[in-house]
Chains A and B, each alone.
Chain A
Amino acid sequence: MKRPSEALAPARRSGVISTWFSRHVSTSIAALGRVARQPFASLMTILVIAVTLALPAALHLVIKNAQAISGNWANALDFSVYLKQGISESDAKRLAGIIDQRADVDQVVFISADEALAEFRDQSGFGAALDQLKNNPLPHTLVVRPSAASTEKSMMLLNEELSNLPETDFVQADTDWVRRFHAILEILERSVVIGAALLGAAILVIIGNTIRLDIQNRREEIEVTKLIGASNAFVRRPFLYTGFWYGLGGGLLALGLVAYGLFALQPPVARLAGLYGSSFEILSLDIEEGLLIIGTGVFLGLTGSWIAAARHMRRIEPR
């Protein structure tokens, strides 16, 4: 008699699992149906979740793009190499030629002291005052443009080597403000994370409240099902699925909102980039970021409904 029951056991277990699975599928579909049956109220909830998710996502994108743009700037920076007084123009030109040979240098522009003075005279309006000077106080200058492939490290190395040249008075690399800008972006990025956490808490409250109302409306049904032997987990399940659908809907709609925003921004950004002679294109969310938004929506939906269900379900007992 033992054999057949042993043979039956695995089949029965897989039957139990498939039953369990199909019950979950039907519960989730029933929950989706419930959400769809109140399209206006559900859409409101989903919209609020979507906006709350889209806000930090959009801010994140702004920062990400700012970082991308300023990243380009850092590499496109020129070094101004001021040569010592007394270096002749021909020596300076020869030095320019030597520096130009370097692999990490794209281009060297020589600005003679006279040119610099003429330019200064034109632009400063101190023309008369400058005429009083017997000697030109300005040195010859080499404007060194690093190659496009430069990294921050190679730039620093180049800076150092240029500074160490015997002809060099000093090198000015205006990367400081770029670094400061990056630091500001980092602070903003951090603020977005903090803001996103607060907004996440808001989503929990929104979903929790929606589910609480749902539980109240279905109080009688919960009582009856408990009366005929439903466990708390069984009664909770449809509400968890409702929260899941709200979260998923909110996440997807948030992606839609962000995508629409990018679409709307594309032409003016392209025009601006064109004015700067750049082919810059807005960076959009990558797949991981998109999944993160949807995942966050689902997670918050499930958590919010779980909290609401745990709080309110226990109190509903058959009377």
Chain B
Amino acid sequence: MIQIEDVTKRFATGQAALKNLSLSVEKGEMVFVTGHSGAGKSTLLRLIALIERPTSGQVIVDGQDTRRVTRRKIPAYRRQIGMVFQDHKLLYDRPVFDNVALPLIIAGVGHREAARRVRAALDQVSLLHKEKQSPETLSSGEQQRVGIARAIVSRPKLLIADEPTGNLDPDLSLEVMRIFRRFNEVGVTLLIASHDIALIDQLGCRRIPLADGSLQEEEEEDVVAEYMEELESGQVRSDWL
């Protein structure tokens, strides 16, 4: 589903976020990208979402070479991918239902069909009863679930998520991961950037550890130790978007 081949991303400052990175994610996989802040997780997801372009190398998503996706084609390309963000990125001037319906409206799906799909998506994240509320009145966990419903409402084959549990307590995090798991079971490929090693271990999914913009095969204990360190120093946060 995703092939990253020898990708380097250098910012205008000259700093390299990714260095000669190569990896691949198969169809139907649920994979976690791990590593501490600045390891390149967010940059990797941004390249897949075409928010950034690689300085060199190739990003292939679902058989599409992203170099061939021109500016004009980016919207259509993004519609094939579900995206979940740490800060939810909901629109607070409209109710939950309208937030979830947005990708379908963009895609030009008819009213009745859209309503049906929005309710199905909200049902999957157990928020059907809150469709008329404003996102502001929801808890952080509920808001994240609205964000997830919006990401899956157009039935993408690939879903990418950056620190989806970054702002949630352990119980809510597990709930969110269970929802992801269910999508994975029906064939959705998931690529999730996360710090939450303990949670990932619980799920038993493949991990792609990044450090300094490259793949790193480290001992798990080290990763956990680093994570604990970051937790203590309050560095645990996403800087994606």
Tell me, yes or no, whether B234 is within 8 Å of chain A by CB.
no
Tell me, yes or no, whether B93 is within 8 Å of chain A by CB.
yes
Contact indicator B78/A227 (Cβ below 8 Å): yes
CA distance A232 to B74 in the complex (A): 10
Contact indicator A225/B102 (Cβ below 8 Å): yes
User: B89: which A residues are within 8 A, CB to CB?
Assistant: 224, 227
Residue on A nearest B76 in the bound complex, by CB? A229
Contact indicator A221/B91 (Cβ below 8 Å): yes
Tell me, yes or no, whether A234 is within 8 Å of chain B by CB.
yes
Contact indicator A19/B110 (Cβ below 8 Å): yes
User: A13: which B residues are within 8 A, CB to CB?
Assistant: none
Tell me, yes or no, whether A135 is within 8 Å of chain B by CB.
no
Choose one: A18, A22, A230, A318; the contact of B106 (CB below 8 Å).
Answer: A230
Contact indicator A224/B91 (Cβ below 8 Å): yes
A24 to chain B, nearest CB (A): 11
Contact indicator A221/B93 (Cβ below 8 Å): yes
Contact indicator A15/B110 (Cβ below 8 Å): yes
CB-contacts of A1-41 with B (<8 A)? 15-16, 18-20, 22-23
A157 to chain B, nearest CB (A): 69
Contact indicator A20/B91 (Cβ below 8 Å): no
Q: Which of A15, A229, A319 gathers the greatest number of chain B CB atoms within 10 Å?
A: A229
Contact indicator B51/A230 (Cβ below 8 Å): no
Contact indicator A229/B107 (Cβ below 8 Å): yes
Residue on B nearest A221 in the bound complex, by CB? B91
B120 to chain A, nearest CB (A): 18
Given A228-B78, A231-B75, also A23-B91 (CB < 8 A): no
Contact indicator A318/B241 (Cβ below 8 Å): yes
What is the 8 Å Cβ interface bit string for chain A, positions 166-190, against chain B (1 contact, 0 not)? Answer: 0000000000000000000000000
Contact indicator B103/A19 (Cβ below 8 Å): no
Tell me, yes or no, whether B195 is within 8 Å of chain A by CB.
no
Tell me, yes or no, whether B150 is within 8 Å of chain A by CB.
yes
Contact indicator A229/B79 (Cβ below 8 Å): yes
User: A219: which B residues are within 8 A, CB to CB?
Assistant: none
User: A319: which B residues are within 8 A, CB to CB?
Assistant: 51, 241
Tell me, yes or no, whether B49 is within 8 Å of chain A by CB.
yes
What is the 8 Å Cβ interface bit string for chain A, positions 48-69, against chain B (1 contact, 0 not)? Answer: 0000000000000000000000
Tell me, yes or no, whether B132 is within 8 Å of chain A by CB.
no
What is the 8 Å Cβ interface bit string for chain B, positions 95-128, against chain A (1 contact, 0 not)? Answer: 0000000110111111100000000000000000
User: A226: which B residues are within 8 A, CB to CB?
Assistant: 75
Given A221-B93, A224-B91, A229-B75, also A19-B51 (CB < 8 A): no
What is the 8 Å Cβ interface bit string for chain B, positions 61-99, against chain A (1 contact, 0 not)? Answer: 000000000000001111100010000011101000000
Residue on B nearest A16 in the bound complex, by CB? B108
Contact indicator A318/B108 (Cβ below 8 Å): no
B48 to chain A, nearest CB (A): 13
CA distance A224 to B106 in the complex (A): 12
CA distance A224 to B99 in the complex (A): 11
Given A221-B93, A229-B78, A318-B241, also A23-B102 (CB < 8 A): no
Contact indicator A19/B91 (Cβ below 8 Å): no
B93 to chain A, nearest CB (A): 7
User: B91: which A residues are within 8 A, CB to CB?
Assistant: 221, 224-225
Given A229-B75, A229-B78, A229-B79, also A23-B105 (CB < 8 A): yes
A225-B106, A227-B89 given; 8 more Cβ-contact pairs under 8 Å? A18-B110, A20-B108, A225-B91, A226-B75, A227-B49, A228-B79, A228-B106, A230-B106
7 A–B contacts from the bound complex (CB under 8 Å): A23-B105, A225-B106, A227-B51, A227-B83, A227-B241, A228-B150, A230-B75
Q: Which 8 pairs, one residue from A and one from B, show the smallest C-beta to C-beta distance? A: A229-B79, A229-B78, A231-B75, A19-B110, A230-B106, A224-B89, A229-B75, A228-B103
